[in-house]
Amino acid sequence: MLQACLNGARTRQDHPKVPLSPEELAHDAAEVIAAGAAELHVHPHGPDGAETLDPGLTAAALTAIRAKVPGIPVGLTTREGIRSDASRGFDQLKAWRVLPDYVSVNLSEADAPEIIELMLAKGIGVEAGLATVADARRWVRLPTMKHCLRVLVEIDFEKDVPGALDLADEIIAVLKQHDVALPLLLHGFDQTVWPLYRKSRALKIDARLGFEDSIHLPDGRVAADNRDIIAAARALR
């Protein structure tokens, strides 16, 4: 399964085609699904251009995307840095009425167990984001572990390619030690994106690509848009 991550925290300063509005997200969603992506991961942005978990703004993004690509699973972030209300995002998350199919939860964040419990209670799938071996060891001890949708092995902080490949192996080894049977999705960031995509192909596990993770193609050229990245992934042998 190839998931398309359309924007993340990137702005138009990173690339002029980064989709921010509901309409732009919906347009890119249709483009990447046509190019071969199977699922979507998006970060809704407000009128000020900032990422948001506001119930009305997340609903607008989800509604626009689903109108363009009905039936395609759409996931949102729950990243701590976006949660701006008095209760660190819990009020916003509790107020969601138009629900994503799943969310990603970073196990490096202190309140990840509470976020996972809240999302599961709302009937939303959870992607457990593991960026370090410590994250993996923390997650496998949670009682909610077996109820998650999948595991994201997301190598966000390790910038060295050999180090990133080794870290992915170390995290996956922890999961194997604990007989984790959930689907795995592996992705990198910037210079580690394509090496880790190739590793996901070799391991026959799920992957993620798109402007959130990198604006570049395998040959180093800047991609024209999100569709360009997904098409390049599908063309790799």
CATH (domain of 177): 3.20.20.70
Tell me the one-letter amino acid at 114.
E
Q: In this structure, what token pair is assigned to residue 72?
A: 């395609």
Closest CA to 7 of 67, 71, 50: 50
The predicted pLDDT at position 157 comes to 84
Domain extent, residue 95, equals: 2-235
The predicted pLDDT at position 118 comes to 96
Query: Is the confidence at residue 16, as pLDDT, over 90?
Result: yes
Instruction: Give the integer Cα–Cα distance in Å for 210 and 229.
Output: 6
The predicted pLDDT at position 86 comes to 60
Calculate the CA 78 to chain-centre distance: 10
End-to-end CA distance of the chain: give it in Å, rounded. Answer: 16
Q: What is the pLDDT of residues 161-206, one digit of tens each?
A: 999 999 999 999 999 999 999 999 999 999 999 999 999 999 999 9
pTM of the model: 0.95
Instruction: Give the integer Cα–Cα distance in Å for 6 and 41.
Output: 7
**Number of domains observed in the structure of the chain:** 1
Residue 210, by phi and psi: left (phi above 0), alpha (psi -120 to 50) or beta? left
The predicted pLDDT at position 87 comes to 66
The predicted pLDDT at position 122 comes to 97
